[in-house]
Structure 1
């Protein structure tokens, strides 16, 4: 089975959102298998103990944080189905 590949960026690029270097900012991508990849700050240690009781994280998952602006600008590109 081949790994999924990036189809497209969801929302504005970091440079379009005002990043000075355009490379080290949160980002969202749609993958060829229909999943989404998120680049964000790893906040697993800080937030894991604060998850709601009905939420959990497996050993291969991390809790990442993206800016509100990143998600709001991505909204227009997220498919309804």
Structure 2
């Protein structure tokens, strides 16, 4: 089975977390959110702030690197055209 990694960029109050949780449930895959950053910080000893700052740099982010190294493919960014 191919590994599936979906990332959702969202703004505060947009309901992205609920959408992500529902999508993960429907796809039968794990859901990760800020808890993953907390776990990485705990396991590596890096500060949460350092990990969050690194994560804001999309193509240089840890999760982007992890996703593409596991066989994920880059998809074009979907934006609201309004």
TM-score by length of 1: 0.27
Larger RCO of the pair (alpha carbons < 8 Å, separation 6+): 1
Q: Which has the higher strand share?
A: 1
Q: TM-score, normalised by structure 2?
A: 0.27
Give the structure with the larger helix fraction. Answer: 2
